Structure 1
């Protein structure tokens, strides 16, 4: 049996600098990379799913500071626009352009130099939101929006997604992938709404039997997002690079997209059989989640289903829905408690073929 590869420690890096193999700058960059990859994985149990929103309280401190900074900047921008309302549109576009440049500069420091996780997520949200708002101010027609014609928002939607994509290419923040998927989802719904007319109700947006194709757009985008997430996961089955983190966020977005259409279509029937079908669908989602070793995929799906059930059917009015939620909760707890054993058994019996080498190892 081959010996496991030796780990390179701090003393080895210092020796490399002393011998001239590495410069001090290269050594610092290598050390920072090692720490960023280790992150929250250091204390994970075997087979657990890496997840971190921030590293230490200093990141929270900086995120609070960035939020207060943003609030102050918005206040100054509001006064700028209010000072001359005759050119409010051009003023807003100018402000958003300056804001984008400032966010980019902050990102260069906090993301590329400091490699902070929490501030990276917050700055990505700021950049995407600023892009949506600024591009909408540039192209959207107020009179069309007042008449519930949203076709002028389609181009800003695509451009905002493209801008977020450029931000991702530069800074490689995994969370940006979730925003890109959500942006495409919102823009696709705008296209469907423009081509098919205004839906009669919110439910019609996502029920497969409804008019306009909204539900099919949702389902197709959810499946496409899931495929992209699996491509990221398959390229990093051991989950040690940013590709795995990008897959994580895409799974969080894909599951509600898929489950939203199917669950609402079943709940629209209002029968006991439909409730059993929802449970069966959750079992199918669980099998997929366990095989690909993504708790985030199943958690997002079940959480969304529960929220939809509670929103549409008050638990005090129908005990059947309360029992359904109880069953889903029990199912989730048991699955989490015995995840590794269940996964080992499933992967052993399912005919996965060549897909096995793309899946995380069994622990």
Structure 2
């Protein structure tokens, strides 16, 4: 039997077209491409493909890789003790060698993701041990000690975060594991935060910037939210660029975009919510009133529309999870002081209803909302809307 993965590979090689692939999938599911049921429902292959697990054998091999790695790690601890660099260096080489078979030859998705993340963890451990011992960096006991380590911190942070990002780039170049795109985005985001922090610190110590008073702290922290917002927009833009390169969602770039959208969503949602509602970012107090609830509804609407337009539930799921958890937080803290149903409970109802509705008819909703609201020139660049009509 030909699998979905084989059909996708045939499309990538140009042996068949995407429409032929979708027709074969419908034929396998319904017994006939022209069946009446297939005309009324989206094709089985039209949903966003997460492609995280390749099947039962993939899970089986993943368990084996985890157990084998854990056994080797325990053995290395026994023989090498506290020689961290050597121990994690052996682990990194071992995981790279395993990836040559599991990823390069067998293309097992879940196992490849686990191996790739394990490799990056080993690289991070090596670099952390190297910068700590090489630059004499230790946990400071007071702010003065931290200030004294400023010259070493700049180089150490660059080596650590930049080194992990470089390792992720090399790993992706060799094995094409999509989760590396997310790892690269996280490292570059952390590196941006790090450089901005050093810039502000140097500005204060050199007299170019004034040390803020305690009363200015809320405004300062609120302004600091522009950094994750800009990072989130950049990551989202790269994800959309990958999506536009692969409208049919059959190449590895589409899988990379999935991880980029997962990462960009929290970076976008939290700053936008705090800045638009004026919530307290110092003590983490989140108690939306009427105006905040209106802004929250607007944000949900915007994110839902964007997710529908680019056909990415991976952007919407973290967004709804954030708003849903925010509503639960508010309800729990309000339960002791209020009777009846708090107004913010409506947000939970909306979020739950959206999740259920989108899970049942994502492509049909896309057709009803996106098709009449966007020009044809833009629709031709976005993922096609796969809804059959009689």
Deviation at 1:36, TM superposition (A): 6.7
For the pair 1:58 / 2:57, whether they are aligned, the reply is yes
RMSD of equivalent CA atoms: 3.3
| Cα distance in structure 2, aligned partners of 1:261 and 1:110 | 40
Q: Does 1:295 align with 2:295?
A: no
The alignment status of 1:257 with 2:261, answered yes or no, reads no
- Picking from 123, 128, 133, the partner of 1:136 is 128
1:273 equivalenced with 2:291 (yes/no): yes
Structure 2 alignment gaps of length 5 or more: 12-21, 30-42, 202-211, 281-286
**Are 1:176 and 2:194 an aligned pair?**
no
Task: Return the offset for 1:325.
Answer: 1.9
Shift of 1:309: 4.6
What is the match of residue 111 of structure 2?
A: 119
Structure 1 residues 1-363: aligned runs within 5 Å: 34=6, 37=9, 45-82=44-81, 88=82, 91-140=83-132, 141=135, 143-146=137-140, 147=145, 151=154, 152-196=156-200, 209-211=219-221, 214-265=224-275, 266=277, 268=279, 270=287, 271-311=289-329, 314=332, 316-317=335-336, 319-352=342-375, 354-363=377-386
* d(CA) in 2 for partners of 1:132, 1:353: 47
1:251-297 residue CA offsets vs partner (Å, 9 max, x unmatched) = 11111111121123336164321122011101000011111111111
- Number of equivalenced pairs: 322
Give the Å deviation of 1:109: 0.3
Verify the 8 A CA contact 2:247 2:382 in the aligned structure 1: yes
Is the 1:192–1:213 Cα contact (8 Å) retained in structure 2?
no
Answer whether contact 2:51 2:255 (CA < 8 A) is retained.
no
Instruction: Report if the CA contact (8 A) 1:289-1:295 is conserved.
Output: yes
User: Shift in Å at residue 46 of structure 1?
Assistant: 5.0
Q: 1:345 to 1:161 in 2, by over 3 A?
A: same
2:327–2:345: 8 Å Cα contact kept in structure 1? no
TM-score scaled by structure 1?
0.78
Q: How far off is 1:135 after superposition?
A: 1.0
Q: Which segment drifts farther, 274-283 or 67-76?
A: 67-76
Give 5+ residue unaligned stretches, structure 1. 1-8, 11-30, 83-87
Corresponding residue SS for 1:238: coil
Give the C-alpha shift of residue 74 in structure 1: 2.7
Asked whether the 8 Å contact 1:189–1:214 carries over to 2, the reply is no
**Aligned residues of 1:193 and 1:214 also touching (Cα < 8 A):** no
Q: Deviations over 1:184-241 (max 9, x none)?
A: 22232233334445xx9xxx99x8x433854111111111111111111101101122
Taking structure 2 as the reference length, the TM-score comes to 0.73
Q: Counterpart of 1:348 in 2: which secondary structure?
A: coil
